[in-house]
Amino acid sequence: MSGGRPAVWAAVVPAAGLGRRMGFDKLLAPWHGSPVLAHTLLGLRRAGLTQLVVGVRDAAAVRTAVLEPFGLEGARLVPGGASRAETVARCLEALPAGVTHVLVHDAARPHCSVALIHAVMDAAEREGAAAAALPVVDTVHRADGQERIAETLDRSALRLAQTPQAFTLELLSRAHREGRSGSDDAGMVASLGVPVHLVPGAPENVKLTVPADLPAAGGEPMPWAVGLGHDVHRLVPGRPLILGGVRIPHELGLLGHSDADVLAHAVADAVLGAAGLGDIGRHFPPDDPAWEGADSLLLLRRCRGLAAAAGWRPAQVDCLVQAERPRLLPHAGAMADNIGGALGIAAGRVNVKAGTNEGMGFVGRHEGMAAQAVVLAARQGPV
């Protein structure tokens, strides 16, 4: 509240920095798929701040890359100044009438939570001035000018400044009008002799500063991948029928070099597909004597290892056996357990389906069986 009236908020975002440490305009660079500045402005809007004033260098570029695609046309763009303070001062001059409180937030902090924004706003409404800040967890040395330790500081009273910072319009305007020094707005207001209330900041509310803070060109690595698998085997007398590692009583079995487990092969094919490793024929040639009569669950475990070496962990499987007979559904649970066990997937994340082919084709004539699978894989380990 300000003088008994409800606070009317606007957000000011200085976004005219040259990004010297970044080497390019970091605010328009993609971060999690969208420009950094779009994340920042959308975060403020999610917190209920609809009056946005943004100090920019290239208004046309910001309009095209950020405002129009993200429905932020209501934001007011103001030409930025030569310094951060000058940019904020220009934004203050462009505020809509009736604003009583201003929240200032760095354009390059796209990961600020609504909760932190609200905490700073609440404190500013209560105290007049507030800023997010973090305790210092590392030891702090003062250097002597020649990169030698002159002194180790007591960090318990030190705070690292973050934004958001929020003030009554009157206080912030006065600090800028009087040309107060300080490398941020909280410092400028504090130099007026006004207490600035510190609100616990958030470690994840980082300021993107150097190129390493942004993903490499081409975007951040995708966390998921899907793979598709397919296999067919002929039905013949005198062979066991093994599906998903389950031996199923039947007058015919599947013909193949290994145990001919058509379902395990389709799943293995999908695991390799998700990891971008081709198909099972490439890794397990059908003429390799090592796989003569082999248990295909072993092959599935090998595929899990190959995928892991490529940085992928199978996370979910959906698969289907097409067989005219026998009835397979009673065995579906045991097949799912075997497949999940071989791939290290939790119970409930492997789904096995069985269906007939309505009498059509080689499956319908009971000449063979077919299987299909899709595997969702999660990226694991450093990339």
Residues that bind Mg ion (CB under 5 A): 231, 265
How many Cα atoms occupy the beta-carbon half-sphere of 129 within 13 Å? 20
**Please, what is the end-to-end C-alpha distance for the chain in angstroms?**
49
Q: Least distance in Å: CB of 258 to Mg ion?
A: 7
Q: Least distance in Å: CB of 26 to Mg ion?
A: 51
Q: Least distance in Å: CB of 335 to Mg ion?
A: 16
Question: Quick check: 375 and 227 in contact, CB under 8 A?
Answer: yes
Q: Least distance in Å: CB of 286 to Mg ion?
A: 8
Q: CA nearest 40: which of 138, 87, 107, 115?
A: 107
Is the C-alpha dihedral spanning 179, 182, 185, 188 positive or negative? negative
Give the nearest residue (CB) to Mg ion.
265
For residue 236, count CB atoms less than 10 angstroms from its CB and return exposed for 0-12, middle for 13-18, buried for 19 or more: middle
Q: Which is nearer to Mg ion, 122 or 367 (CB)?
A: 367
Q: Which is nearer to Mg ion, 232 or 378 (CB)?
A: 232
Bridge-partner residues for 129, per DSSP?
167
Phi, psi dihedrals of residue 180, rounded to the nearest 5°: -60, 145
Q: Least distance in Å: CB of 243 to Mg ion?
A: 12
Q: Least distance in Å: CB of 322 to Mg ion?
A: 14
Q: Which is nearer to Mg ion, 130 or 268 (CB)?
A: 268
Q: Which is nearer to Mg ion, 51 or 296 (CB)?
A: 296
Bridge-partner residues for 247, per DSSP?
242
Q: Which is nearer to Mg ion, 106 or 231 (CB)?
A: 231
CA distance 119 to 374: 45
Q: Least distance in Å: CB of 259 to Mg ion?
A: 10
Q: CA nearest 49: which of 13, 77, 79?
A: 13
**Both tokens of residue 260?**
């001919």
Q: Which ranges of the chain would DSSP assign to H, the alpha helix?
A: 36-46, 59-62, 84-93, 114-127, 169-177, 185-190, 262-274, 280-283, 296-309, 332-343, 361-364
Q: Which is nearer to Mg ion, 111 or 230 (CB)?
A: 230
CA distance 321 to 363: 10
Q: Least distance in Å: CB of 283 to Mg ion?
A: 12
Q: Which is nearer to Mg ion, 54 or 352 (CB)?
A: 352
Q: Which is nearer to Mg ion, 8 or 232 (CB)?
A: 232
Is the C-alpha dihedral spanning 69, 114, 207, 213 positive or negative? negative
Q: Least distance in Å: CB of 41 to Mg ion?
A: 53
Q: Which is nearer to Mg ion, 184 or 231 (CB)?
A: 231
Q: Least distance in Å: CB of 255 to Mg ion?
A: 10
Q: Which is nearer to Mg ion, 299 or 374 (CB)?
A: 299
**Both tokens of residue 255?**
């013909």
Residues 6+ apart with CB under 8 A from 83: none
Phi, psi dihedrals of residue 155, rounded to the nearest 5°: -80, -10
